[in-house]
Chain A
Amino acid sequence: MGVRNTILNIEGLKVHFDTLDGTSRVLDGVELSVREGEVVGLVGETGCGKSITAKTILRSLPVPPGRIIEGEILFLGDNLLELSREEGHQVMSKKMSYIPQDPMTSLNPVFSVGEEMGDLIRWHGRRRLGPLELMGLRRKHDNSIAKAVELLDRVKIPAPREIIRRYPVELSGGMRQRVLIAMALIGYSSLLIADEPTTALDVTIQKGILELIEEKVKEEELSVLYITHNLGVARRLCDRIYVMYAGTIAETAKTQDLLDNPKHPYTSGLISSIPKLTGDEFKGIDGRIPDYIDPPSGCRFHPRCPEVMEICEQEKPELVKVGGGRLVACHLFSTGGES
């Protein structure tokens, strides 16, 4: 496929939350990149900071209590964190798109599907509307409804002409998620961020939505950052996977390499916790995600790590290249660990 441009590159992103009990150091130097046409998975246990990472990219991190300490998010050449609120919003809303986690709460309950989609199609990417446009008095003579129908058709919604008149309350969770995917396609131009788009759905419906996303990703050659706690889902969709643990990237590699030959002990643990992938009995990893207010010293994984060494308690491992485009943050592979 040749060398492709990097569209998103995150370097050393640190995000803290101020709580009454103290500062919660959630993201502790996240490194991540997405190239054009690439589907990248961000995988980790619930609470590892995946969604915070997505929220920070999408500028919907609640500040306060959240605080961006340092790092940069380069998106198509702009450092999103240095842009003003308005500029950033402009870049983001024009070029990024988003599929949310919970379809039940992600559609405005008092507007019909067609109303909201129509406005998105009509005004997409405009930061502000003039007063007449705002009052709906000046609507471009457009084919936004026809387009909405077409989009709903593309996400395999039966009877789309009927659905655009419906309100969210009349639609099932799966239907709503399809509508949201259709909406995301309106806004899509460079990067799609999907934040666990199937977790809130019934298992039977999950499959259909996943197939739909898989199909759309291939058909439309989307660049995607797909966030999930499910390594199996990531395996189906992603070209490359980032494994995240407690606010840090543990490892990244091409999907097949990562699954065949995990380097980081945490990755191995994750893989062995999926019975389908190994055929073995469910093993899992002992312990749970650490406290972010008082995180473990050194490597945040060390209290749970089966191969813990002395250095792991003292020094935080850097992400280092281990060949084949792979990066691992573990003292087993860093020069310090080997010596």
Chain B
Amino acid sequence: MEQVLRRKEKGNLARAFYRFKKNPLSLIGLGIILTMVLIAIFAPFIAPYPGDAGGAVHFKEMFQSPSWKHSFGTDEVGRDVLSRIIFGSRISLTLGIVVLSVAVGVGIPLGLFAGYFGGKVETVIMRITDIFLSIPPLVLALVVTAVLERNLQNSMFAIAFTWWPWYARLAYGQTLSKKEEDFVEVSESLGASRLYIIFGEILPNMTSPLLVKITLDMGYAILAGAALGFLGLGAQPPTPEWGTLVSLGRIHLPKMWWLSTFSGLAIFVTVLGFNLLGDGLRDFFDVEVD
């Protein structure tokens, strides 16, 4: 019997790895993300012209096409595009982390409360969630930026403002299905406090779908941030935000193609990385999230 049990345990782990291995793309995703994080951390050391991250001006070198000296070319005031893109990684990753921290921090407790307490709490929280979800997220974010000053912080706030309902919904659904399970009943009968049950028992039991969703959403949040930047509603020049860079470069198309192309490519690769990893994690944990 013991032997059978042990084989089953090994089986579960082996199964998980089998699922992960089935999806080698997720390793590529992980590689991309780690690279991006390292680039962001060590930007001042990696960037060939760290001074170009801000508002530097070198008119003599403006609009140079990619060369050995400037592998991604230079922009309208002669700044090195590669250096600016390298510093841009800091902005995009920060934006993703901030947006998701807020969305998770607000949405998860609300969803947990709604699911656990039910009744009026549930009705109020979930109806508000429904209302937020009944306006397409990007549209809602635009409205929020409309009433605020245009800068990076406010665009993060605007995106987070539209993002939390998804986490409320996830936590709500998970709580409903976990609430009836034995471990909750046992804790209740042992007299554990409600807050402990919610955050100590139910929450830890939804880590895998949460982790998968956060990974995938990092990509989508970065995409949304870049979109606001592109529309001129996010980070303002000379901040080297990727979406803003694409938008600025667009004025000089099609001749100065390198301006928009490389910054857009940076967004694409980063988002792709999170998507690949998220998909791999989904296989690994064997969970479905929408």
Contacts and interface: CB of A to CB of B under 8 A. Distances in A.
Contacts of B14: 20-21
B18 interface: yes
Contacts of A20: 11, 14-15, 18
A79 B7 CA distance: 39
Contacts of B15: 20
Contacts of B7: 21
Contacts of A21: 7, 10-11, 14
Interface of B is mostly: helix
Nearest to B13: A20
Given A20-B14, A20-B18, A21-B10, 5 more contacts: A20-B11, A20-B15, A21-B7, A21-B11, A21-B14
Interface of B: 7, 10-11, 14-15, 18
Q: Which 5 A/B pairs are nearest by Cβ-Cβ distance?
A: A20-B14, A21-B11, A20-B15, A20-B11, A20-B18
Contacts of B18: 20
Interface in A7-37: 20-21
Contacts of B10: 21
Nearest to A293: B7
8 contacts: A20-B11, A20-B14, A20-B15, A20-B18, A21-B7, A21-B10, A21-B11, A21-B14
A21 B8 CA distance: 9
A20 B8 CA distance: 10
A20 B7 CA distance: 10
A21 B7 CA distance: 8
A94 B186 CA distance: 57
A174 to B, nearest CB: 31
Nearest to B7: A21
Nearest to A22: B7
A163 B62 CA distance: 79
A21 B10 CA distance: 9
Nearest to A19: B11
B27 to A, nearest CB: 20
In this complex, which of B7, B11, B15, B18 has the most chain A Cβ atoms within 10 angstroms of its Cβ?
A: B7
A255 B18 CA distance: 47
A7 B18 CA distance: 43
A20 B18 CA distance: 8
A21 B18 CA distance: 12
A20 B22 CA distance: 13
Contacts of B11: 20-21
B143 to A, nearest CB: 40
